[in-house]
Amino acid sequence: MKIVAALTDPTLAAQAERQGAEIIELRVDLYDGNVPRQVKDAKAACSLPVIITLRSAQEGGQFFGSPDEWMKKIEPLIPFADYIDVERSFAQHAPAIRAAGKKIIASHHDGRMVPLYILFVMERELRAYGDIPKIIVTPANDEDLIELLTFTQAANKPICTGVMGSEFRHARAILPLFGSEFVYCHTGEPTAAGQYSVEEFVQLKKLSGR
C-alpha cells in the first residue's frame, strides 16, 4: 500500500512528504490562480511522485467543463505529473497522456454501492485505458463492505478501491490489507469526508506491519 496525500493546498507538498506520504495528489479542480505555477512549485518542493487530478462535479469535484475543456486544463500540467487521474468521461484523451509517458489512474466515483459483478465489469473497462483502476463506492451496510473487500482481493492488480463518506471510514484502513494499491489521506484540509490524515495513517500502517 502507498499513502497518497491529497492536497487542497499545493504549498503543503513538502509537509506531506515530511509526514510520511509516499505520493502527493494535486487536486487542481480546487485551486485558484496560476495553477501551472502552483503545480510546478509543488513538484519542486518534494521528491515524491505526483498525481494530477481535475475531478469533475459529477464525481465529487469542482470541474464543470467538457472533455475537451478538461484536456485543455490538463495539458500544461502533464510535464509535472507522474500519474494523471482520468475519469471514464475523459477517457478519449488517455492516448495523448500515454504518449507523453505518464501513467493513468482510471477512476470512477459512485455515490452508491455497485453490485459485485458490475465492479468486475467496471475494472475491465477502466483497465482498458488506464494503468491503475480506481473504484470508489458508497456502501450502505456491512454486506456491501464485504462485497467491496471481496472484489478488492479478487481483482487483477494493481487496483485501488475506497469508500465515499465517513460512515464506513474504517474501510479506508482495511482495503489496503486486501490489495488496494493506494490509500488517499490528507495533509491540511481533507479533500473528502472520512479521510485519515497522513500522520494518522502512517501510524496505522506501522501497526498493521505492512
Q: Measure the CA–CA gap between 205 and 26, rounded to whole angstroms.
A: 23
Q: What is the pLDDT at residue 88?
A: 97
> Which of 168, 156, 155 is closest to 196 using CA atoms?
168
Mean pLDDT in consecutive groups of 10 residues from the start of the chain, 210 residues: 96 98 98 97 98 96 97 98 98 98 97 95 98 97 96 98 92 95 95 92 82
Annotated catalytic residue within 43, 109, 186, 205: 109
186 among known catalytic residues: no
Q: 2-106+168-208 adopts what CATH topology?
A: TIM Barrel (3.20.20)
Q: Is 17 helix (H, G, I), strand (E, B) or coil?
A: helix
- Placement of cell 482520468 in the chain: 86
Q: How many CB atoms lie within 10 A of CB 79?
A: 13
CB 172, CB 147: distance < 8 Å: no
pLDDT tens-place string over residues 167-204:
899 999 999 999 999 999 999 998 888 899 999 999 98
Q: What is the pLDDT of residue 205?
A: 84
- Concerning whether 43 is annotated as a catalytic residue, the answer is no
pLDDT value at residue 210: 62
If phi over 0 gives left and psi between -120 and 50 gives alpha, with beta otherwise, what is residue 49?
Answer: beta
Per annotation, catalytic residue among 102, 108, 134, 186: 134
pLDDT of residue 98: 97
DSSP result, 95-129: HHHHHTT-EEEEEEE-SS---HHHHHHHHHHHHTT
pLDDT at 3: 97
Q: What residues does each domain of the chain span?
A: 2-106+168-208
What pLDDT is stored for residue 39 in this prediction?
Answer: 98
Cell of 120: 468486475
